[in-house]
Amino acid sequence: MFTIRILYVLISLVAVSLLFRPVSAQVAVNPYEEQRIDSVSVVLVTPAPDAAKSARLVDKVRKMLALFPGDLYREHAVQLTLSTIKRLPDIANLTHEVEFSPRGGLQLLVKVELPPENISAESVPQFPWLYDRQGTSIKAKVELLGMYYGNQDAWFGREEKMLDGNPFAIGKSAGKGYSDWIEGFVHGGIYGITPVSDDVSVYGGFSAIASGSTGQELFTDQTRTHVATEDAFAGIVGGVVTEDGDRFVYNFSAGRQRFSLGEGFLLVNTSQNGLDRAALQSNPRWASDQVVLAQFAYNNVKAEFFAVDPDELAAIDSKTKIRGVNLQTNLTDYQLGYAYLSVPESSTGYYTTSAQYSREGLRVHNVRLRWQPTAPQQHTTAVPFAGAEFARQSNRNFSMAALGYFVEGGYVFPSVSWSPTVSYRYARFSGDKADTQTFERWDPLLSGGNGETWVQGINHFKIFQNSNLISHRVQLRLRPKPQIELVPQLWWFKADSLTNLGGNPALSFLPDDDLGRELNLTAKYFYSRNIMLQGHIAATFAGSAVKDALGTHHSPWISTMLFLRVGF
């Protein structure tokens, strides 16, 4: 039965994919959204008789773009910025392409087209562009996703114990044996920008998401549908380029919008999915209830001031509000960052064997470092890279000292078949020690993202999230063909402390620190920049701490997933 279901879904998704053909190569689908930019290139794609003038134009586009390695890719922001740059009289068109780099970030390529002599630079917009003239641009967004998800022995076959008291568990939950479900969403919206002067523009966006789930999900077997506003924001952006070529940019925005800090170590999941909103695994909603954001950039130095009110599910709304500042810069091959966060309001509780505290009053200091040497033109040797992040949490209302950090290193082998990238990452999120008066359990805040950032273990993350956790990850990236990427991972998980109050209630007190291991494989097929097919298979093996806590259990927990995403 399992084989028949998988075969049916594969055939169905392939058939659907054949109905869509690339219409435009100007707009990317959403797997790139909020991903780290590893490189930015600006190239002239039409011949020009004056080489010096062309070089100056390319340099001006680069400065006006104001994007650098280490920045996060935001699709509509990049596209609307390019539409503003197109107001330059010597430019006929600007397009951009993104693809994943060997290091896991993005390679951004901006193409500059010059107008033929004596021909106007105005171009006719093509969908999803609705209007594009004299700096005013209006763009539609259409995004569809269908997903199949299956589990064998979810929750190690002990769902009644692992989900006891979980507000997501309504009706029948997945557990021993095989279960599966189908979910998906449609996301549609409109975004625009218009100049109010030569150096200042206003912009905004509005979108809505319709989502649904049917079948035996991890937490419930109830069929659900939900429609709600996603983006609803407005902003003003401006900047100047001095005669010396220095670039100053400012950007103010407010409303329902997505916001991430770095690679999601602290902040990325600013909206919740599941329960009545459905689409638990495809995770379509990212916009906060409210984000107020002020950004300033001078060349490659950027400062952000932000206030985030996450869009939480009503049943588990913690009333958390986060305020902070982020500073970052690039120094040749190094990317440096520092952030400070505070939580002025929250009803989330911290628990110990003798007391209960509150997240309200939390303070976080965060330092980030990434080293990515520029690869040589002739790739004859491996190219190294490394990254690290460290954060310390305290609270103004009680004694707290929690630590979270990681170190990562790896090599890219560009001249080897399949262009492999191999990396190892060690991460630790502290747990509370029972023999101290200071509270030491790490608060994961809004950490997460995807299985290559801070979703640590496709299955394991569902039972033990980023708190009281030590993880070892060995990861490969393989490119058998330019449009295909394979990402196998091997995980080993340990607890930092045997006291785990605040985690899964079934694992509140651990007999030892062995949580388990996971082996998974993710495969991605980029049919075009508009169509993506992705799947995974993951096997998670319970460690001795989990086995002892559960008693009778079934291991491994195996999950499979396949989705088709189409976006314009």
pLDDT tens, residue by residue, 376-422: 555 557 899 999 999 999 999 999 999 999 999 999 998 889 999 99
Nearest CA to 535 out of 491, 480, 486, 483 is that of: 486
Question: For residue 440, what pLDDT is reported?
Answer: 97
Question: For residue 64, what pLDDT is reported?
Answer: 77
Instruction: Give the contacts of 80 (CB within 8 A, at least 6 positions apart).
Output: 137, 139, 191, 192, 193, 203
Q: For residue 210, which amino acid is it?
A: A
**Rounded mean pLDDT, 71-81:** 78
Query: ∠ at Cα 467 (461, 470), nearest 5°?
Result: 80
Q: How large a percentage of the chain has pLDDT more than 70?
A: 92
Helix (H) or strand (E) holding 294: strand 290-298
Residue 70 has pLDDT above 80, yes or no: no
Residue 295 has pLDDT above 70, yes or no: yes
Query: Cβ distance 271 to 265 under 8 Å?
Result: no
Q: Would you give the DSSP letter of residue 509?
A: B
Question: For residue 59, what pLDDT is reported?
Answer: 78
Reported as a pLDDT band with limits 50, 70 and 90, residue 61 is confident
Least confident of 232-241, 358-367, 400-409: 232-241
Instruction: Give the contacts of 313 (CB within 8 A, at least 6 positions apart).
Output: 272, 274, 275, 276, 277
Cα within 13 Å of Cα(337), Cβ side: 27
**Higher per-residue pLDDT: 169 or 68:** 169
Least confident of 313-317, 374-378, 426-430: 374-378
**Rounded mean pLDDT, 268-278:** 94
Determine phi and psi for 141, rounding to 5 degrees.
-130, 125
Query: Cβ distance 490 to 476 under 8 Å?
Result: no
Question: For residue 48, what pLDDT is reported?
Answer: 66
**Rounded mean pLDDT, 126-152:** 91
Question: For residue 81, what pLDDT is reported?
Answer: 78
Instruction: Give the contacts of 523 (CB within 8 A, at least 6 positions apart).
Output: 484, 485, 486, 487, 534, 535, 536
User: CA distances (Å), 505 to each of 161, 165, 255, 452, 534, in order?
Assistant: 9, 8, 36, 27, 33
Give me Rg for the CA atoms of the chain: 24
The average confidence (pLDDT) of the chain is 88
Question: For residue 246, what pLDDT is reported?
Answer: 83
Q: How far is 357 from 364, CA to CA, in rounded Å? A: 17
Tokens 């932000």 found at: 306
Q: How far is 402 from 393, CA to CA, in rounded Å? A: 5
Query: Cβ distance 16 to 146 under 8 Å?
Result: yes
Reported as a pLDDT band with limits 50, 70 and 90, residue 117 is low
Question: For residue 382, what pLDDT is reported?
Answer: 86
Reported as a pLDDT band with limits 50, 70 and 90, residue 129 is confident
Q: How far is 321 from 292, CA to CA, in rounded Å? A: 12
**Rounded mean pLDDT, 549-568:** 94
Sheet strands (E) in 84-177: 93-100, 106-113, 129-133, 136-152
User: CA distances (Å), 71 to each of 267, 289, 315, 433, in order?
Assistant: 15, 23, 34, 37
- The size of the chain, in residues, is 568
Reported as a pLDDT band with limits 50, 70 and 90, residue 20 is very low
User: CA distances (Å), 492 to each of 389, 441, 508, in order?
Assistant: 20, 20, 20
Question: For residue 380, what pLDDT is reported?
Answer: 59
**Rounded mean pLDDT, 54-79:** 78
Phi/psi-derived region of residue 476, left when phi > 0, alpha when psi is between -120 and 50, beta in every other case? beta
**Higher per-residue pLDDT: 315 or 145:** 145
Question: For residue 376, what pLDDT is reported?
Answer: 58
Question: For residue 123, what pLDDT is reported?
Answer: 58
Least confident of 207-216, 369-378, 446-455, 551-560: 369-378
- Record the pTM: 0.86
- Domain 2-19+139-567 bears CATH identifier 2.40.160.100: yes
Question: For residue 379, what pLDDT is reported?
Answer: 54
Reported as a pLDDT band with limits 50, 70 and 90, residue 258 is very high
Query: Cβ distance 194 to 185 under 8 Å?
Result: no
Residue 542 has pLDDT above 90, yes or no: yes
Q: For residue 544, which amino acid is it?
A: S
Q: How far is 293 from 468, CA to CA, in rounded Å? A: 31
